[in-house]
Amino acid sequence: MSGAWDIASATSLTTGVAKTKINNGNNVTKPTQAVNLVETIPYVISSGAYTVAESIAITAEIESFSVDLLPKRMILPPIQSGLGTMMNITIPMLEAYECNTGLQQGATSQFIISGQAQIANTVAPLMGMALHYSTTPPNRPEHFYHKPDNEQNFTTATTTSGPGFTVNDGMWLEDLYVSVFTAVYTVSQSLAGYGEFSSNDFGNSLPLKVPMQPGAGALGNAGTQGILKLASYHNTHMPMKTSCKINTSFTNDVTQTGTCSFVMGVGYTQR
């Protein structure tokens, strides 16, 4: 066995919400010896100064015309906005997304990797991605990722229904992701709560409720609800019907003066 790491270079996602191809607009070509895309690790940062009351919330997507895979649409850890002259911004820990995508040895297969902002930013964010390859074929089922297109706003300490989405041709729901981010942060208001995934198409009625990574409120007029890590949960192994409509909701523990948003996604396998 031999492993390798490659980079899809960081590229501006522009200031809007359109999907943008990274790696400077070029496809990523796999190493010819590689037979397994083991995992990916995206990374995001602002291309300049951070803007007050503008969090950075990004979706990453992997597609291919030369590899038989469904698009993988992954929620990335959010970078929280703040108030005043922000002395420091908390960049969350990097998140690895398991793939186990089988590749043909000797082929020069290509991936199309894109990023898309959930909300527009005054200063464009940059997104890059590390790709982990192996010369050993996958010994675990391939992982796919899906999420709704849009986020859902909330303020009050209650349960808010979010957008639903449909997973087709899945068998096991394995990974759960809850991303919560602030628009206008209010001093001394922490951010905490939990997301719930529900569906009549799950194989049983066991609950899927998982907490977000809390963000602590600060004093003064230069605070931020910095979040250290994306809330991600694995090895869920919930059975699904072939076509599974998943509903999402978020229960907020602390009433927010300013508007906040959440978006939730899943990882799944087909066998």
The structure's pTM equals 0.94
pLDDT value at residue 85: 62
* Confidence at residue 67, expressed as pLDDT on a 0 to 100 scale: 81
**Complete DSSP assignment for the chain:** --EEEEEEEEEE--SSSS-EE-STT-PEEPPTT--EEEEEEEEEEESS---TT--B-EEEEEE-SSS----EEEEPPPB--BSSS-S--PPPPP--EEEEEE--TT---EEEEEEEESS--SS-EEEEEEEEEESSPP-SPPPEEE--SS-EEE-SSSEEE---EEEES--EEEEEEEEEEESS--TT--B-EEEEEE-TTBSS----EEE---B---SSSS-B----S-EEE----EEB-SEEEEEEEEEESS--SS-EEEEEEEEEE--
> Which residue positions in the chain have pLDDT lower than 70?
83-88, 218-223
What pLDDT is recorded for position 90? 85
Residue 89: predicted pLDDT: 81
- The pLDDT of residue 258 is 84
Q: What is the pLDDT of residue 270?
A: 92
**Chain segment 112-149, per-residue pLDDT in tens:** 999 999 999 999 999 999 999 999 999 999 999 999 99
Q: Can you give the pLDDT at residue 184?
A: 76
